[in-house]
Structure 1
Amino acid sequence: MQFAVKTSVIAVFAALATSACTLGPSGAPPAMPSPAHYGAQPQSLQTVAAGGTAQHFDAGATAAPQWWTLYRSDALDALVEEGLRNNPTLAATQRSLNAAQQELRAQIGASTLPSVDAGAEAERTRSPVVPGIGPNTERYNVFAGQLQAQYNFDLFGAVRYGNKASAARVDVQAYELEAARRALAANIVGTAIRAAALDRQIALTEHLVTLAGDTARDDAQRQALGSVSHAQALGSARQAAALAALLPPLRQQRASTVHALAVLLGRTPDATPAVPDLDSLSLPEHVPVAVPAQLLRSRPDIQAAEAAVQAAAADVGEATAQLFPNLSLTASMGRAGFGWPALLSGAGGIWAIGASVSQPIFHGGALLAHRRATKEAYEAAVLHYKSTVLSAFGNVADSLAALDNDAQTLASTESEARAAQQLFDETTSRYRLGSLPISAAQASEQQFLTARLDAVRAQSQRLGDTAALFQAMGELPQEPAKSASRE
């Protein structure tokens, strides 16, 4: 059994010695396809005009670092800035990254530089009593002080690979922090948009409820006079109750939304912020669309997956280097004596120097199994990188398609609202002339308000999906995040 393990170790050494490769994979991410366009169909250069704006997709443009400012709302800018400054989860992630960077500096310093320690000793000693030999007791003092130094030579790169793996994992945390920052900004913008849209929906629904209540009361009076049927009066009462039932869920959604917004900002739910008016939010007209090659460098989740591949590759190198000999050097110098005069005299000098070499021979197959495990972990990291890239492509494709469809939906709802408004204006004019009853004017106004509700939903969906696309595009950093972890 032992002979078989030794033979396996020797075979590994021979293969590595004859190979022109390093002890581990290069850590370069796998090549990924570069699609001509993200979705199933080529992306159009712009959407249809809706809400007075046709959004343009600027292919190859670099995303704006503070993209939320493109909504041109000071209130929204203030919310995002407060959240980025005060959100405790984001702050905790930053602190965790700072701690990891300091631990990395400690690891690099301890593993690549010699360690030097100073020691001092003062001792009062009594020797054992041997009957018939010498005096009955012997008491004496021992004083010693010395410097000790130790250095491990990284002959086969085990330390270097280990430090490289740790640095790459710190890079993963740095990219995850950037992803969390961008996700927080997008969540704040999306939540503020939903709250603003709910405010508008609640106001329109309250108007609808008022109109329906007026119609129900009018029909009840007319039914009492015999001018309308009992069925029509009951129908009006049913519609008024159904519309009134829509208000509590809308108000609950609004309350939950502003509570969530307060928490995102680092506030307690009782300190909800002021929500910007929906009409104060301008839709960004130009939306940058990174080409696939740029997306690989701008998305922090892809960059984190790439850093994880580098860490896994370094783990393979470290596990392989641990199969080779280890050389360490120790040295010490100082002074010692049984008294202060002896300690300070020339005879009190002491020193030592030595070297040690260790070669793994038999560890129950643990070293080879660990190396095989790191290779499997590396392959898993490569596959995870591929999955992350494909998911990012799908995320962008969905966001682009959503904006195109949002614009068409908004254009249709606006057309419906305009037609409903014209009908309401004509019906109101005829009612004032006495050719139509008030119930007809009320019914046309209800149709107009319902069409406006649909347009508000479509408008808020378009604003929110624009924020989602900005987040999906990522941001090309001016300085790679990994530089901070390699100081």
Structure 2
Amino acid sequence: MKMMFIALAAAAMLTGCALTPPLERPASPVPAAYPLRDDPVTDRTAADLGWRSMFNDPALQRLIELALTHNRDLRLAALNVEMVRAQYDVQKAAELPHLDAGVSMTRERVNAGGQRATQTQAGASVGITAFELDLFGRVRASSDAALARYLASAQGRDAARIALVGAVAQAYFAERLAQAQLALATRTVEDWRGSLALVRQLRAANQTGALELAQAEAQVASSEADREARQREAERRGHALAQLVGQPLPADLPEGASLMEAAVITQLPAGLPSQLLARRPDLRQAELALVAANAEIGVARAALFPRISLTASVGTASPGLKDLFRGGSGVWSFAPQITQPLFHAGQLRREVRLAELRKSAAVLEYERAIEAAFREVADGLSGRERYARQAEAQQRVVQAADRRAALAELRYRAGVDSRLEVLDAQRQLYAARQAALDLRGEEIGNAIALYKALGGGLSENDRVLPEARSRQ
């Protein structure tokens, strides 16, 4: 027993000669500031804005709540985190010796000097089996890699949560847009049917020709076909939203705001590109993947060196169970083993090279993730600056097209213009209104994309950083 404890103490003193190289994180491959920025630099960004404040719509808030509970992709991401955590726990346990207790009894018949005899051997022992002395840090590096993978999976779960909140919001407003387009198409059908009735009256009074009647009928048929297409699109958007939520949409869903009245914050604070590294889980996930790949180099390097393992046990043995625990029956065993790789046809060194290449790939993946995040934020900021101006200009287009359509109708009734001028004005008005709806949908979509790109959507309620709170 004393010798076993001495061996374990020596193992603890010898472990820790790690061969894992120091991790040098690459410099950020993006500029220090975003383009087209005119907002003041603050400690707060969109990541501090809870999704309830970002989307002040009771229907959407209810749907996000349901999705966070029932969405299967998010539940799968949570299970993956638990599985990776279990793998880390298994690997971490390998750093400590495992004690096993055993009781055995052997009874056999033998021939000795022409006489048959029965022998009994009983034993009880406690010991460790093949405990590796981590002289070169192989076990520790494996644990470090497993820990980094576990932490990366947790960041992946958070990234999936952000993506889900954004996806539900995008799908919800896409459904709102489809409903608004359907309402506009339905109203247009009714308006153009009224115009067709007028043309028919004029035709019955011989005040217009068959060509103008055919044009009006074709216009109504076209609007009816467009309405059916809008109806189909609205249904498809509803199905997509239900899939994201993970269950059928509830019947008691609160009444949501119309698309043009949707309460969505479009002017979001951006902060600095350096803040993305701390605010976006997917970037932290890529960084932890780099940490894991670096630790795997230590594992591969340690495989080139000797591996020492200990097997030791203490216990008792006797010819029978009744004498098993009597004095003088103690036994012990101590069996150290050292294994030195001699010839593996270059396999071990190639595994080191493979680990180094994987780290290089992880560096590039990390840099690429940062570049993609920067581009997403830059695109969102560009849209933030331009969509409001474009929407204001489009509203002027709608107002002008509305005036033209009204004047064309009056001039047609007065016999000044032909029916063709009225048809063209009505089509232009319809296209202008549809463009205004599309533009509003794009503006909201850009705001959601910028919110996600800045790391928003992880928290439900607003959060303020301690350094920012101290100045308030």
TM-score range, shorter chain: 0.7 to 0.9
Mapped pair 1:341 → 2:322: yes
Give 2:160's aligned residue: 180
1:71 to 55, 65, 71: 55
Give 1:140's aligned residue: 119
Give the secondary-structure state (helix, strand or coil) at the position aligned to 1:238: helix
Give 1:43's aligned residue: 36
Alpha-carbon distance, 1:410 to partner: 0.9
Give the secondary-structure state (helix, strand or coil) at the position aligned to 2:31: coil
Separation in 2, partners of 1:290, 1:28: 25
1:316 to 285, 292, 297: 297
1:218-233 equivalent positions in 2, closer than 5 A: 218-233=198-213
Indicate how the Cα distance of structure 1 residues 299 and 258 shifts in structure 2: closer, same or farther if over 3 A, else same: same
1:336–1:350 CA contact under 8 A, matched in 2: yes
1:11-410 equivalent positions in 2, closer than 5 A: 23-38=19-34, 42-45=35-38, 61-62=44-45, 63-109=47-93, 111-127=94-110, 129=111, 133-135=113-115, 137-150=116-129, 151-268=131-248, 276-278=256-258, 279-284=260-265, 286-410=267-391
Separation in 2, partners of 1:29, 1:156: 24
Separation in 2, partners of 1:275, 1:464: 21
**Which range is displaced more, 273-282 or 343-352?**
273-282
Give the CA RMSD over aligned residues: 3.0
Indicate how the Cα distance of structure 1 residues 367 and 90 shifts in structure 2: closer, same or farther if over 3 A, else same: same
Alpha-carbon distance, 1:280 to partner: 4.8
1:262–1:271 CA contact under 8 A, matched in 2: no
Separation in 2, partners of 1:370, 1:148: 34
Alpha-carbon distance, 1:416 to partner: 1.8
Give 1:456's aligned residue: 437
TM-score (norm 1): 0.82
Alpha-carbon distance, 1:256 to partner: 1.2
Indicate how the Cα distance of structure 1 residues 212 and 58 shifts in structure 2: closer, same or farther if over 3 A, else same: farther
Give 1:11's aligned residue: none
Separation in 2, partners of 1:419, 1:57: 37
Q: Residues 50-102 of structure 1: CA distance to partner in whole angstroms, max 9, x if unpaired? A: xxxxxx68665322352352232122111111111211220121012012112
TM-score (norm 2): 0.84
Alpha-carbon distance, 1:216 to partner: 2.2
Q: Residues 427-464 of structure 1: CA distance to partner in whole angstroms, max 9, x if unpaired? A: 88x69x98999989998677555433322221121111
Indicate how the Cα distance of structure 1 residues 57 and 448 shifts in structure 2: closer, same or farther if over 3 A, else same: farther
Indicate how the Cα distance of structure 1 residues 275 and 463 shifts in structure 2: closer, same or farther if over 3 A, else same: farther
Instruction: List runs of 5+ in structure 1 lacking aligned partners.
Output: 1-20, 46-55, 479-487
Give the secondary-structure state (helix, strand or coil) at the position aligned to 1:112: coil
Give the secondary-structure state (helix, strand or coil) at the position aligned to 1:287: coil
Alpha-carbon distance, 1:313 to partner: 0.8
Alpha-carbon distance, 1:255 to partner: 1.0
Percent of aligned positions with the same letter in both sequences? 28
Indicate how the Cα distance of structure 1 residues 58 and 413 shifts in structure 2: closer, same or farther if over 3 A, else same: farther
Separation in 1, partners of 2:288, 2:332: 46
1:413–1:451 CA contact under 8 A, matched in 2: yes
Alpha-carbon distance, 1:356 to partner: 2.2
Alpha-carbon distance, 1:402 to partner: 2.3
Give the secondary-structure state (helix, strand or coil) at the position aligned to 1:118: strand
Separation in 1, partners of 2:232, 2:41: 39
**Which range is displaced more, 267-276 or 413-422?**
267-276
Separation in 2, partners of 1:445, 1:264: 38
Separation in 1, partners of 2:204, 2:58: 55
**Which range is displaced more, 469-478 or 112-121?**
469-478
Aligned length: 438
Separation in 1, partners of 2:226, 2:180: 14
One-letter code aligned to 2:385? D
Alpha-carbon distance, 1:262 to partner: 0.9
One-letter code aligned to 2:36? Q
